[in-house]
């Protein structure tokens, strides 16, 4: 208890801070012992099983019987997501796994797919990693995340930053003008679901106060890294978007949920939020920065809210929807970072600018996270509705030397897999849906003739099986069974079709409902690989 009191300091003893407190123990001790779980339970007036079920749910907490019996002091996580697997992540893991005094584990996507393969030494991501680079980082003691080079608070204010939110607060009637502008722009959420932003704002604003804003920066979809890209470069543009939304909708508090893998971004946000509070451009609502703990399911908005409340990230049954009863039972507006990032630009340039920026009947711009076999992987800003072939030729420098386009994933792990013959389709869910695919968060992974769609599917099904929260049987058992079945030399297509349909019909949330998409895509477009 004495150790716990020292770690927690004067922080309020609230249930919603349980995960934050577990992080403090893990960071200080390298693991969480049984006695620490009992002490924390007593401090928060919870049953020990309530603390244990939360701690054991998340990947980044190491539970041990006795204090000091945990893992070695340094952990190296080698990303095994599809882009990293294509770049040799398995060989990298095996080459450093035998090093003494070091724990080397396979990890899901760490959000740096453009620099694959990636290893995280402690909290320091090593991009385009090799055994030599990892050894050098260990020898130099480079285990803490670096603060990214970015536009700081003073520089952002000089360029006119925060002027828009100040004007809205001066005249609250401007809030309606902001929503009208978003309607004219046709802005949709850029996190994956694509729900019209203005409609969501109106629904939340109609609910009784107090109302809250939750910013989803969990970004765990393999192949997605655009939110990190913008956050590392221009954090205050996103923060101003948060304040614009809060002022326009009448939101009393802001909660930022940041995935734990983005340790450098967390340091950046802590620093810049402190500068903002020390010299505020206007009245600020309370802004809370919360830390995820390694759970892909927490990208789903209701699971994220459960995690913010200090619980396991289990998706909620709906209705009620989070806009009606979200965080702490209050009406909640949930947005990903990129949606908020563009608010200032849309208000400065006007809704017509955004609406006219697309192609093929689409509105706006999209930040495409492109990885795989292209010459220039990374975040590429291009018109919504551009085709994959145009995106590769106009923005990605073509394919890598010796590679030609064979297949692509238009929407990350859950967006399906399409063949080269469909590379001229607009990158829009309406155009992709008839072919069994979706755009989602615009996480594009490009495969060449040296890859196989069935191997990509196997990698993705392993990911889904590992990341299923386990709440519902169709997803918990279905993903594990599917991961086994796709390893057969010849697929049992009848059984896989039946299993996929069951998962889509009966799973509680989008993870189980979308997990069969890679399987169905391979059976539809790449049958020659599985028969």
Tell me the whole-structure pTM to 2 decimals: 0.96
Whether 99 contacts 60, CB under 8 Å: no
How many CA atoms are closer than 13 Å to the CA of 260, on its beta-carbon side? 23
The pLDDT tens digits of the residues spanning 76-135 come to 999 999 999 999 999 999 999 888 788 999 999 999 999 999 999 999 999 999 999 999
The pLDDT tens digits of the residues spanning 289-328 come to 999 999 999 999 999 999 999 999 999 999 999 999 999 9
Whether 34 contacts 66, CB under 8 Å: yes
* Region class of 320: left (phi > 0), else alpha (psi between -120 and 50), else beta: beta
- DSSP calls for 136-167: HHHHTT--SPPPPP---HHHHHHTTTTHHHHH
What CA–CA distance (Å, rounded) separates 416 from 515?
A: 9
How many CA atoms are closer than 13 Å to the CA of 128, on its beta-carbon side? 5
**Residues present in the chain in total:** 531
The pLDDT tens digits of the residues spanning 367-420 come to 999 999 999 999 999 999 999 999 999 999 999 999 999 999 999 999 999 999
What CA–CA distance (Å, rounded) separates 268 from 152?
A: 9
* Fold topology of 75-139: Glutaredoxin (3.40.30)
Portion of the chain with pLDDT greater than 90, in percent = 93
The candidate with the shortest Cα–Cα distance to 518, out of 87, 79, 82, is 82
For position 192, what pLDDT does the model report?
85
Strands 443-448 and 405-409: antiparallel
Instruction: Identify the CATH homologous superfamily for domain 153-349.
Output: NADH-ubiquinone oxidoreductase 51kDa subunit (3.40.50.11540)
Q: 519: Cβ–Cβ under 8 A, 6 or more apart, which residues? A: 457, 461, 482, 486, 496, 500
Whether 365 contacts 357, CB under 8 Å: yes
Strand partners, 289: 256
**Which pair of structure tokens corresponds to residue 111?**
């959000």
**Which pair of structure tokens corresponds to residue 360?**
């093929």
Cα–chain center distance at 501: 26
Give me the helices (H) in 279-377, please.
301-308, 337-341, 343-349, 351-355
Question: Which H or E element spans position 233?
Answer: helix 226-233
For position 71, what pLDDT does the model report?
65
**Segments of 112-251 assigned E as strands:** 119-121, 124-126, 212-217
The candidate with the shortest Cα–Cα distance to 311, out of 471, 465, 503, is 471
Question: Which H or E element spans position 517?
Answer: helix 517-525
Q: Which CATH number fits domain 360-449: 3.30.1360.120, 3.10.20.600, 3.40.1190.20, 3.30.40.10?
A: 3.10.20.600
For position 193, what pLDDT does the model report?
85
Strands 332-336 and 75-79: unpaired
Whether 451 contacts 420, CB under 8 Å: no
Phi/psi for 326 (5° steps) reads -115, -120
- Residue ranges, comma separated, of all CATH 1.10.10.1590 domains in the chain are 2-64
CATH number for region 2-64: 1.10.10.1590
Strands 365-372 and 378-383: antiparallel
The pLDDT tens digits of the residues spanning 156-182 come to 999 999 999 988 888 777 789 999 999
Portion of the chain with pLDDT greater than 70, in percent = 99
- Residue ranges, comma separated, of all CATH 3.40.50.11540 domains in the chain are 153-349
- Residue ranges, comma separated, of all CATH 3.40.30.10 domains in the chain are 75-139
The candidate with the shortest Cα–Cα distance to 400, out of 469, 447, 461, is 447
Whether 392 contacts 374, CB under 8 Å: yes
**Which pair of structure tokens corresponds to residue 312?**
């396991």
Sheet holding 212-217, edge to edge: 287-291, 253-258, 212-217, 332-336
CATH C-level class of 454-529: mainly alpha
Q: At what angle do helices 453-467 and 517-525 cross, to 10 degrees?
A: 170
Strand partners, 33: 64
What CA–CA distance (Å, rounded) separates 76 from 102?
A: 7
Residue with tokens 């401090």: 43
The pLDDT tens digits of the residues spanning 445-476 come to 999 999 999 999 999 999 999 999 999 999 99
The pLDDT tens digits of the residues spanning 199-228 come to 999 999 999 999 999 999 999 999 999 999
For position 417, what pLDDT does the model report?
98
pLDDT at 68 over 90: no
Degrees to nearest 5, angle at CA 296 with 290 and 297: 90
For position 70, what pLDDT does the model report?
64
Q: What is the overall mean pLDDT for the chain?
A: 95
Degrees to nearest 5, angle at CA 348 with 345 and 352: 85
**302 to 74, 274, 504: CA distances (angstroms):** 33, 28, 19
- Residue ranges, comma separated, of all CATH 3.10.20.600 domains in the chain are 360-449
What CA–CA distance (Å, rounded) separates 260 from 256?
A: 12
Residue with tokens 């020292």: 6
């Amino acid at each position: 208890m004495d150790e716990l009191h020292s770690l927690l300091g004067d922080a309020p003893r609230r249930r919603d801070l349980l995960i934050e407190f577990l992080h403090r123990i893990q960071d200080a001790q390298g693991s969480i012992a049984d006695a620490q779980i009992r002490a924390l339970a007593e401090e928060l007036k919870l049953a020990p099983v309530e603390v244990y079920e939360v701690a054991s749910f998340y990947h980044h907490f190491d539970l041990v019987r006795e204090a000091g019996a945990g893992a070695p002091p340094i952990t190296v996580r080698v990303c095994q997501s599809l882009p990293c697997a294509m770049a040799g992540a398995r060989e990298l893991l095996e080459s450093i796994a035998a090093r003494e005094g070091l724990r080397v584990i396979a990890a899901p996507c760490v959000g740096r797919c453009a620099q694959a393969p990636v290893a995280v030494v402690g909290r320091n991501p090593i991009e385009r990693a090799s055994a030599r680079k990892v050894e050098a980082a260990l020898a130099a003691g480079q285990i803490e995340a670096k603060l990214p080079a970015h536009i700081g608070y003073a520089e952002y204010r000089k360029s006119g930053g925060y002027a828009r939110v100040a004007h809205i607060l001066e005249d609250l009637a401007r809030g309606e003008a902001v929503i009208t502008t978003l309607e004219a722009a046709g802005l949709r959420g850029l996190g994956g679901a694509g729900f019209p932003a203005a409609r969501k704002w109106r629904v939340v604003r109609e609910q009784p106060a107090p109302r809250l804003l939750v910013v989803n920066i969990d970004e765990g979809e393999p192949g997605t890294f655009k939110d990190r890209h913008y956050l590392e470069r221009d954090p205050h543009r996103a923060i101003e978007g948060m304040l614009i939304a809060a002022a326009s909708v009448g939101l009393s508090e802001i909660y930022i949920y940041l995935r734990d893998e983005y340790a450098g971004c967390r340091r950046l946000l802590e620093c810049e939020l402190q500068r903002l509070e020390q010299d505020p451009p206007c009245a600020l609502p309370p802004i809370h920065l919360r830390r995820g703990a390694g759970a892909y399911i927490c990208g789903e908005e209701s699971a994220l809210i459960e995690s913010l409340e200090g619980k396991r990230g289990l998706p909620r049954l709906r209705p009620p929807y989070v806009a009606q009863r979200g965080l702490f039972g209050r009406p909640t507006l949930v947005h990903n970072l990129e949606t908020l990032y563009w608010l200032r630009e849309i208000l400065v340039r006007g809704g017509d600018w955004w609406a006219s920026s697309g192609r093929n009947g689409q509105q706006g711009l999209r930040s495409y996270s492109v990885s795989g076999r292209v010459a220039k992987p990374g975040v590429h800003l291009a018109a919504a509705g551009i085709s994959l072939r145009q995106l590769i030729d106009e923005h990605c420098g073509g394919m890598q030397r010796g590679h030609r386009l064979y297949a692509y994933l238009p929407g990350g792990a859950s967006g399906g897999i399409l063949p080269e013959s469909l590379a001229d389709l607009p990158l829009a869910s309406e155009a992709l849906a008839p072919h069994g695919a979706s755009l989602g968060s615009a996480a594009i992974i490009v495969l060449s003739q040296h890859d196989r769609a069935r191997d990509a599917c196997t990698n993705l099904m392993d990911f889904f099986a590992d990341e299923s929260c386990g709440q519902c049987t169709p997803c918990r058992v279905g993903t594990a069974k599917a991961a086994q079945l796709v390893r057969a030399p010849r697929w049992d297509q009848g059984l896989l079709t039946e299993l996929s349909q069951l998962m889509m019909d009966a799973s509680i949330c989008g993870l189980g409902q979308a997990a069969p998409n890679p399987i169905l895509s391979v059976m539809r477009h790449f049958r020659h690989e599985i028969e």
